[in-house]
């Protein structure tokens, strides 16, 4: 890395952090009251543009920018499937989001489990769902905090060590989040989303000018690595479909995604933001895949090379060959950091809300009258979570990590509770009851975890979680039919 | 919803399994097929969101004059 580029990264990084903290202070001044809804949901007043950027920045993590090109480099153009997955996540919202938004408005929900508590009134389901959300979020937050450390160490070539990147990044996120809660997170997401979009567009413009059109690059790939252009095998097509199902049903259930549904100012704003989100993967993900494809064309014989570093390798190539690439490359590198931070701050806020309201509030039997007390606990729980996650990121526990990698298989099991739960009002006697959903959840979890424990993470190409959620839906349906039949 | 399911199934290039890639406009046909189905899925989703999610005017009336959260 040239000294100029190093200096550019330090200056841009410093300015970026300064802006984040400034936004934190501005969002603190915009706070209206000290309620939980104001801290965790920005007072339910997010407009369409901030909502779009915060959804975008939260959905596209650091993995999207550095992991997807790496995966494309390994698997070839078949990794175009990731565009489908990202579209599928937005399609998944069609199953329950509008009805959930209306329920959240009338019930003043703050956490995802608030909906389940209001709809099913089953304490076991409340605690089980909160635990599942915690497991899913802990994994995500831990991965992002670790990625922050790796990105900082990588971008500064080790001048800022991994542990300092972890501690420093965590401290900055914690600072602006404590200042403004969801409002700070959403506003910083808007900045991070803008950096992300600018970085991606600049990367594409640079690549097109340096290596030629996509067709030229693909011809090169076909010449140097024909296997990377081959049509996918049956196993890969099944995996493609299974991954799609996993994300279609599971990703919209991430607590930070559900809380953005709650935080929308109106359903109209939410639908405008999500309609745009449905089209964004064609630009954003196609761009990162193109970086991976360019990597195949430029570095076809890179045996033993860490594929996850392909983004940085392609950027370094650009800086070497295009003197004007210096500034855009700095923006792209900042975009990687922005993507990581924007996902981490959303996870932290959601985790804090679950710990405060679903666990602490419920165990202590706090009701609506105790909201001021819970709001005072909220910052404390954010600090406690970040300290614990930072410690884990510095010294990861392999057993915990092993448990957490299957989070998606577990999270997806909550799909029937939300999809079937929003189909009927609680007062509707023919609707699903807590025991139906709980029975399905039990069967789904047993199958998903059982298959995993038995060494079958996939069955006939389908993920254990997808097999489990199929059985989960069937059990819910059968349990309801049995109950209604008995009543007749 | 049936169209959504069909489009989702179509994104995975089952019809091209094991076939030699044929190139059209620089891209293999199986990739064109996946791109087409994914685009159709996107448009269907966007259309579904805009067409079927209707706001209750009374619900948003209170927030209409208040956009303090929408801009930094």
Contact A410, A448 (CB under 8 A): yes
* Residue B70 sits at the chain A interface (C-beta within 8 Å): yes
Q: Residue A285 corresponds to which tokens in the numbers above?
A: 């993900």
Asked if A215 and B30 come within 8 Å (Cβ–Cβ), the reply is no
Asked if B71 and A50 come within 8 Å (Cβ–Cβ), the reply is yes
Asked if residue B69 has pLDDT above 50, the reply is: no
Q: Which of B23, B28, B38 sits opposite A83 (nearest CB)?
A: B38
Dihedral sign from CA coordinates of A425, A429, A430, A436: positive
User: Which residues is B27 bridged to in the sheet?
Assistant: B24
Query: CA A113, CA A486: separation in Å to the nearest integer?
Result: 30
Map tokens 């500064």 to a residue.
Answer: A156
Asked if residue B65 has pLDDT above 60, the reply is: no
* Residue B10 sits at the chain A interface (C-beta within 8 Å): no
Nearest Cα residue to A411 out of A143, A128, A118, A146: A128
Asked if residue B68 has pLDDT above 50, the reply is: no
Q: Which of B8, B13, B71 sits opposite A232 (nearest CB)?
A: B13
Query: What does the buried/exposed string (b/e) look like for A268-296 if buried means 16 or more CB atoms within 10 Å of the residue's CB?
Result: bbbbbbbbbbbbbbbebbbbbbbbbbbbb
* Residue A232 sits at the chain B interface (C-beta within 8 Å): yes
- What is the reported pLDDT for B57? 56
* Residue A96 sits at the chain B interface (C-beta within 8 Å): no
Residue in B closest to A42 by C-alpha: B69
* Residue A383 sits at the chain B interface (C-beta within 8 Å): no
The pTM of the full predicted model, rounded to 2 decimals, is 0.87
Q: Which of B27, B49, B59 sits opposite A105 (nearest CB)?
A: B59
Query: CA A94, CA B11: separation in Å to the nearest integer?
Result: 19
- What is the reported pLDDT for B66? 40
ipTM, interface predicted TM-score of the complex: 0.84
| Residues near A28 by beta carbon (within 8 Å), at least 6 away in sequence | A179, A180, A184
How many percent of chain B have pLDDT more than 70? 74
Cβ contacts below 8 Å, chain A against chain B, sum to 165
* Residue A94 sits at the chain B interface (C-beta within 8 Å): yes
Query: CA A472, CA A482: separation in Å to the nearest integer?
Result: 15
A47 phi/psi in degrees, rounded to 5: -80, 175
Q: How confident is the model at residue B72 (pLDDT cuts 50, 70, 90)?
A: very low
Shortest CA gap A278–chain B (Å) = 5
Q: How confident is the model at residue B67 (pLDDT cuts 50, 70, 90)?
A: very low
Nearest Cα residue to A54 out of A329, A286, A262: A262
Provide the 10 A C-beta neighbour count for residue A126. 20
Question: pLDDT under 70 in chain A at which residues?
Answer: 1-5, 301-305, 396-405
Q: Residue A400 corresponds to which tokens in the numbers above?
A: 């915990």
Cβ contacts of A190 on chain B, cutoff 8 Å: 72
Of A96, A275, A279, which to mutate for an interface test with B (greatest number of B Cβ within 10 Å)? A275
Rg (CA), chain A: 23
Q: Which of B42, B54, B68 sits opposite A30 (nearest CB)?
A: B68
Shortest CA gap A381–chain B (Å) = 24
Asked if A45 and B55 come within 8 Å (Cβ–Cβ), the reply is no
Query: CA A164, CA A170: separation in Å to the nearest integer?
Result: 10
Asked if A282 and B66 come within 8 Å (Cβ–Cβ), the reply is no
Q: Which of A32, A50, A275 sits opposite B46 (nearest CB)?
A: A275
Residues of B numbered 24-43 whose beta carbons fall under 8 angstroms of chain A's beta carbons: which are they? Answer: 25-28, 30-31, 34-35, 37-39, 41-43
Query: CA A228, CA A466: separation in Å to the nearest integer?
Result: 28
- What is the reported pLDDT for A1? 61
If you average pLDDT over every residue of chain A, what do you get? Answer: 87
Nearest Cα residue to A164 out of A155, A176, A153, A175: A153
DSSP assignment, residue B19? P
Map tokens 């935080």 to a residue.
Answer: A263
Map tokens 């989960």 to a residue.
Answer: A472
- What is the reported pLDDT for B62? 46
Q: Which of B9, B19, B72 sits opposite A26 (nearest CB)?
A: B72
Cβ contacts of B41 on chain A, cutoff 8 Å: 84, 87-88, 91
């Amino acid at each position: 890395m040239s000294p100029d580029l190093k200096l550019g990264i330090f200056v841009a990084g410093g300015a970026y952090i300064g802006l984040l903290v400034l936004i934190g202070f501005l969002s603190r001044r915009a706070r209206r009251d000290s309620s939980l809804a104001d801290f965790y949901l920005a007072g339910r007043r997010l407009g369409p543009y901030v909502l779009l950027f915060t959804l975008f920045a939260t959905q596209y993590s650091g993995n999207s920018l550095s992991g997807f090109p790496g995966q494309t480099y390994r698997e070839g153009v078949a990794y175009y499937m990731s565009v489908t997955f990202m579209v599928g996540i937005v399609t998944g919202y069609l199953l329950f989001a509008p009805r959930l938004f209306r329920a959240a408005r009338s019930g003043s929900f703050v956490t995802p489990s608030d909906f389940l508590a209001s709809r099913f009134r089953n304490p076991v389901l409340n605690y089980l769902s909160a635990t599942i959300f915690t497991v899913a979020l802990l994994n995500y937050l831990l991965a992002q905090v670790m990625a922050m450390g790796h990105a900082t160490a990588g971008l500064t070539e080790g001048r800022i060590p991994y542990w300092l990147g972890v501690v420093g990044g965590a401290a900055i996120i914690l600072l602006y989040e404590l200042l403004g809660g969801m409002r700070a997170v959403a506003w910083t997401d808007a900045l991070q989303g803008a950096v992300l979009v600018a970085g991606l567009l600049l990367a594409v413009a640079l690549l097109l000018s340096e290596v030629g059109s996509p067709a030229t690059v693909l011809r090169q790939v076909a010449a140097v690595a024909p296997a990377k252009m081959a049509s996918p095998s049956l196993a890969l097509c099944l995996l493609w479909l299974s991954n799609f199902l996993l994300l279609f049903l599971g990703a919209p259930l991430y607590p930070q995604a559900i809380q953005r549904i709650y935080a929308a100012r109106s359903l109209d704003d939410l639908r405008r933001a999500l309609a745009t989100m449905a089209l964004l993967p064609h630009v954003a993900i196609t761009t990162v895949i193109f970086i991976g494809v360019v990597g195949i064309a430029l570095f076809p014989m890179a045996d033993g090379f860490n594929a996850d570093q392909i983004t940085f390798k392609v950027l370094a190539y650009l800086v070497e060959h295009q003197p004007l690439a210096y500034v855009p490359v700095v923006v792209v590198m900042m975009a990687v950091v922005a993507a990581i931070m924007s996902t981490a701050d959303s996870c932290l806020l959601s985790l804090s809300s679950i710990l405060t309201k679903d666990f602490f509030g419920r165990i202590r039997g706090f009701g609506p009258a105790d909201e001021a007390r819970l709001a005072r606990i909220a910052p404390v729980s954010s600090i406690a979570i970040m300290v614990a996650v930072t410690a884990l990121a510095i010294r990861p526990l392999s057993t915990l990590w092993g448990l957490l990698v299957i989070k998606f298989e577990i999270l997806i099991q909550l799909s029937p509770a939300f999809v079937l739960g929003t189909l009927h009002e609680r007062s509707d006697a023919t609707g699903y009851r807590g025991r139906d959903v709980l029975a399905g959840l039990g069967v789904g979890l047993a199958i998903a975890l059982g298959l995993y424990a038995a060494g079958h993470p996939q069955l006939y190409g389908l993920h254990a979680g997808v097999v489990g959620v199929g059985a989960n839906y069937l059990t819910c349906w059968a349990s309801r039919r049995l109950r209604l039949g008995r009543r007749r | 919803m049936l169209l959504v399911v069909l489009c989702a199934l179509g994104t995975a290039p089952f019809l091209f399994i094991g076939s030699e890639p044929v190139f059209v406009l620089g891209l293999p046909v199986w990739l064109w097929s996946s791109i087409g189905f994914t685009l159709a899925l996107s448009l269907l989703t966007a259309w579904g969101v805009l067409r079927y999610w209707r706001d209750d005017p009374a619900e948003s009336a209170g927030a209409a004059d208040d956009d303090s959260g929408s801009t930094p």
